[in-house]
Amino acid sequence: MKKLLTAAVAALIAWGAAAQTTAGLDPLLQNVYARNTQSLNGYWRYVVDRIEVGYYDYRHQPVENGFFVEPQVDNVRTWKEYDFDTSPVMPVPGDWNTFDERLSLYDGAMWFRRKFVYRPQQGERTFLYFGAVNYDAKVFVNGRFAGEHEGGFTPFNFDVTELMRPGENTVMVMADSQLSPRTVPVDNYDWCNYGGILRDVMLVTVPQDFIRTYKFELQRGTRDRIRVEVKLDKALAGQEVTVGIPELKVNRSAVTDADGVAAFEVKASPELWSPENPRLYEVTVAAGADRVSDRIGFRTVETRGRDILLNGKEIFLKGICIHDEAAFRDGRIYSAEECRTLLGWAKELGCNFVRLAHYPHNELMVREAERMGLLVWDEIPVYWTIDFSSDESLANARNQLDEMMERDMNRANVIIWSVANETPHSSERDAFLSSLARYAKSKDASRLVSMAMEKSPKSPTVFSVKDNMNEYVDVISVNQYTGWYGEHIDVIDRVSWEIDYDKPIVMSEVGAEALAGYHSEEMKIWSEEYQAEFYRKTLKMIDERMPKLAGITPWILKDFRSTRRVMPVYQEGYNRKGLVSERGERKEAFRVLQQWYKDK
């Protein structure tokens, strides 16, 4: 969540000249890649700080002369116990776990420093933007506190105009990857908690008065009216806003209300975005001296009974789950090229849909999926055992939901906002999740809301879904691993399902592990043959003994690093449920699912 300064930190900020100013976390700037930017990617100096001596003293109180001040010393009369100038460098974006083998299991705090040259222009404001820092980021500019952000997968920015100076400037970040029972996610997870500055860092320059956010969507129930909403940074009434969509001959102006918002409709009949025709239109939004361009698609998504309708037509979601981990190497995804590799495998598999689990993925992944014609499930990391009784955890989760939605609001391929995965039932949990679901619906009525639930056995071989969240979601999604966890594969032949909810049903996870290249005529567990037979039996069960499904997203496209997976030989620190190995090898189950999708 967005943390307010404590009295101690406020005193720290005030240390030195009384004229010092601070900038806290600002509302998110949308579509930064279309703005005037200066990349701060590259090699940053770093210092490992496991017990955070660069920020706290031996009484665990914030210090006034921490690493962020970086005083000059002669080591004769004055001294310090760190030195960024002679410290090693690390690429940003990047994670420390895969950068240096000595840091592969490191979980804690690390300081990063980047020097750069800045030339301020009169009448402009400058924001410091981070695509993601895992998990808690304290940011300093020229020795002064800029702000703090909690959450390892969503973007954030600070207005640093008053902290910058002409010429050389310094940014420092204390990134702390440690999770706890009250973080989101908690310190119990099934992936690798890669630490560091994981996504792009940039300075974003805008006019004094600028466009903060905008939203384009088809007016509900129509295909020839586009609803537009533009929000300025300041609550100024009577400001002119102009929207252009040249290919649709749209050029419309409106004025803002007292909140600085201009909301209006334009008449136009765009080609609708779909997996078969991922049509995007060049759109411009202008207000005063500010102008932003984007490529936006138009489509409708709704439900009818157990069907999901895309552009008014029933669609079966032929999906796959994906983690934000690169192909052919460990670590987070840093480039559009790496996104295209994974999404290309999904297309080869026959998918029209991807579940980006279990947290918001790189913005480049969502945009590349849109361009390639893949529908998207966006998810926040309310995962497993969140502290559902904590107001702090709820505020944190809601902020991550808000940042994800703001970032991806204009992506036509995003059709589902997911607020949770496999959470234990309780009244506190129901209040927590229903609050998030209601917020998502109030912020965006043009998409569906879901969460990954767990199966509820009616008997040893008859399964259902019973969850109090059924009334708050649009899509009933269920994870199930019958035939892998606790049971032999043969049980799948005897399983049937009864689900009472008259809503679309998606099997959001199903899978079994296999080590690529391990074969067994006896179809032993961990073999490609066992995984492939698991898929054959499960897909037959879906065809013959389940209520009508609206889609499936098996777990998972690619083998990925996981701290939980310690089985020698077969796992070695990887979750092996991928249909593709970490080296890009297609397992036999890949072809089984590929053929089933082809026949659908």
Angle between helices 336-349 and 363-372 (to 10 degrees): 40
Domain of 276, CATH number, reads 2.60.40.10
Whole-prediction pTM value? 0.93
Same domain, residue pair 414 and 537: yes
Residue 488 inside a domain? The answer is yes
Same domain, residue pair 158 and 197: yes
Question: Which residue type sits at 108?
Answer: G
Among 206, 240, 268, identify where a domain stops: 206
Q: Please check whether residue 553 is in contact with residue 317, taking contact to mean a CB–CB distance below 8 angstroms.
A: yes
Task: In whole angstroms, give the CA distance from residue 440 to residue 430.
Answer: 15
Same domain, residue pair 265 and 348: no
pLDDT at res. 392: 95
Which SS3 state, helix, strand or coil, does residue 318 take? strand
Task: In whole angstroms, give the CA distance from residue 595 to residue 361.
Answer: 28
Among 254, 272, 299, identify where a domain stops: 299
pLDDT at res. 19: 27
Residue 287 inside a domain? The answer is yes
Tell me the β-bridge partners of 112.
46, 173
Same domain, residue pair 201 and 107: yes
Same domain, residue pair 164 and 271: no
Same domain, residue pair 254 and 347: no
Residue 305 inside a domain? The answer is no
Same domain, residue pair 510 and 379: yes
pLDDT at res. 15: 29
Residue 306 inside a domain? The answer is no
Which SS3 state, helix, strand or coil, does residue 261 take? strand
Residue 575 inside a domain? The answer is yes
Distances from the Cα of 410 to the Cαs of 214, 216, 244, 280, in angstroms? 8, 6, 15, 11
Task: In whole angstroms, give the CA distance from residue 266 to residue 246.
Answer: 13
Q: Is 235 left (phi over 0), alpha (psi -120 to 50) or beta?
A: beta
Same domain, residue pair 266 and 396: no
Structurally, how many domains does the chain consist of?
A: 3
pLDDT at res. 76: 83
Q: What's the maximum distance between 2 C-alpha atoms anywhere in the chain? A: 81
Q: Please check whether residue 145 is in contact with residue 22, taking contact to mean a CB–CB distance below 8 angstroms.
A: yes
Residue 321 inside a domain? The answer is yes
Q: Do you find a cis peptide bond into 71, omega within 30 degrees of 0?
A: no
Which two structure tokens, joined as six digits, stand for 458?
């009616």
pLDDT at res. 487: 84
Among 272, 299, 326, identify where a domain stops: 299
Same domain, residue pair 284 and 416: no
Same domain, residue pair 332 and 404: yes
Which SS3 state, helix, strand or coil, does residue 138 take? strand
Residue 80 inside a domain? The answer is yes
Percent composition of the chain: helix, strand, coil (DSSP 3-state, to 5): 20, 30, 45
Which two structure tokens, joined as six digits, stand for 539?
């897909």
Tell me the β-bridge partners of 317.
551
Q: Please check whether residue 445 is in contact with residue 220, taking contact to mean a CB–CB distance below 8 angstroms.
A: yes
pLDDT at res. 75: 80
DSSP symbols for 155-202: -EEEE-GGG--SEEEEEEEEEE----TTSSS-S--SS----EE-S-EE
Tell me the β-bridge partners of 113.
45, 172
Domain of 67, CATH number, reads 2.60.120.260
Task: In whole angstroms, give the CA distance from residue 188 to residue 207.
Answer: 44
Which two structure tokens, joined as six digits, stand for 308?
């999901």
pLDDT at res. 26: 82
The boundaries of the domain holding residue 333 are: 313-599
Tell me the β-bridge partners of 320.
354
Any residues with CB less than 8 A from the CB of 313 and at least 6 apart, and which? none
How high is the mean pLDDT in each 10-residue block of the chain (600 residues)?
A: 35 30 67 96 97 92 90 82 93 96 95 96 94 97 96 97 96 97 95 97 96 95 94 95 97 96 96 98 97 97 97 98 96 96 98 98 98 98 96 96 97 98 97 98 96 94 96 97 91 95 98 97 95 98 96 98 94 96 97 96
Same domain, residue pair 409 and 336: yes
Residue 216 inside a domain? The answer is no
φ, ψ of residue 492 to 5 degrees: the values are -60, -35
pLDDT at res. 206: 96
Domain of 321, CATH number, reads 3.20.20.80
Angle between helices 391-408 and 363-372 (to 10 degrees): 40
Which SS3 state, helix, strand or coil, does residue 428 take? helix
pLDDT at res. 25: 66
Question: Which residue type sits at 310?
Answer: L
Same domain, residue pair 181 and 248: no
